[in-house]
Structure 1
Amino acid sequence: MKPSCIILAGPNGSGKSSIYEKLQPPGRFINADNIASSLNPSLPVNIKRVRAGRATVSLIDQMISSKDSFVFETTLSSSHSIDTMQKAKRAGFHVGLIYVILYRAEQNIERVRFRVKNGGHDIPTVDIIRRYKKSLDNLPKAVALSDEGVVIDNSEREPLFLAEFRRDGQITHKHIATDGETELHMRLNTIITNA
C-alpha cells in the first residue's frame, strides 16, 4: 500500500484544524502553528514563525524520505505546498487534498479575530486577504496533482461537502451551486471540472 500525503489546505481562518478533527485523515499531522506554539514562549512571534516554518519543511522532507504517511496543513498560498505535492508524487505517495474555504475573505478575517479573542494566534488582515486570493489561484494546480480530494465550504455552522473527486477526473459527488447562486461555488465548480 502506498504511503499517503494529504494536503489540508485553505485560507487562514477557514477551519482547517476543525475539519481535521472531524475527518481524522491517516498519517502524522504536520502543522506549523502547532510547532510554533510548542516553542519557547519568550521568543518573539516572528522568530517562532520562522523556526516553525523551517521545522515543518524539515519534517515533511523526513516523512517523504522515510515514505511515512502524513497530513500537512497549509494555506496553499505559496509554491511550497505545490512543490510538496509534486515531491510526494515523485516519491510514490498517494496524494490527497482536503480544501476548506469560506464564502468571503471577510468571514476569514472575522474568524481569525474570534480565534485571537479566545487565545489563538493572529494573522494580519492584509495577509488573510492576500492568502485567500492566492489559495484559490493555486487550487487548480493542487487539484490536478491530487489522486483524490474533497472541497468543503465551511462558511456555515456545519461544513458543506461541495465535491469529491478522483485522479481520473471523475467527480464522485458534487453539490456545487451552478445556477449563479454563489460566485465562489461557480468558481470552485470550474476549477474541479477543468483540472
Structure 2
Amino acid sequence: MSTKRVLGWPVFRQLRSGDVFGRGETTQSRKSKNLSARTTDADRVVQSVCPYCAVGCGQRVFVKDEKVVQIEGDPDSPISRGRLCPKGAASEQLVNSSRRVTDVLYRAPKSTEWQKLDLDQAIDMIADRVLEARANHWEDTDEQGRPLNRTLGFAGLGGATLDNEENYLIKKLFTAAGAVQLENQARI
C-alpha cells in the first residue's frame, strides 16, 4: 500500500489538521460531501399525526412525486416538540413497505385460506352482522322492568393506533348502537 494512500486516510488527515475530535471536513469522504438529505428535494411537506399511539405526536411528512420520502418529528407540535419514538420515526416504512396489505382479506369460518373482498362487500357483511347481533341480543328492560336499551351481542375494542378523535367517534357509534362493552388499549 502506498504512503500517499495511507496518509489520505481520515485519521491521518484529522491529526494533520488539528481536528482532534473528528468534527471537521477531514473526516468526510468525497461521497459523504456530495450527499444530501431526502428532505431537500421534497415537493411539499404535510403536517400529520403519528398513527401509533394516543399521544398524538406531530409529524412532518415529506412528499416527492406523490410518494412519501421521509417522516420526521414536527418541531411546531406542542405535544412532541419535534421528537418521535422509534415507532413514530419508522412510520415511513409503514407507508412504503412492499409487504403492506392494501386489500380487504376475509377468511370464512373453518376455512384455511384468505380471500380478497371488495371493500363495499366487506362493509355490507360487517353491517349485516352488527345488525343481526344487535337484534338477537337486544335487552329493552331488566327483570324489574327498568329500561336498559342495550345489547351484549357485540363489543368494541379500539387500538392505540387511532387518534383521540377517531376513538371518540367510534365510542359514540358503538354507544348509539346500544353496545355497553367498550374498551380501548390507549385508555389502559
Q: Which TM-score band (shorter chain)?
A: under 0.3
The structure with the greater share of residues assigned to helix is 1
Which of these two proteins has the greater Rg computed from alpha carbons? 2
- Greater RCO between the two (CA within 8 Å, min separation 6)? 1
TM-score if structure 1 supplies the norm length? 0.23
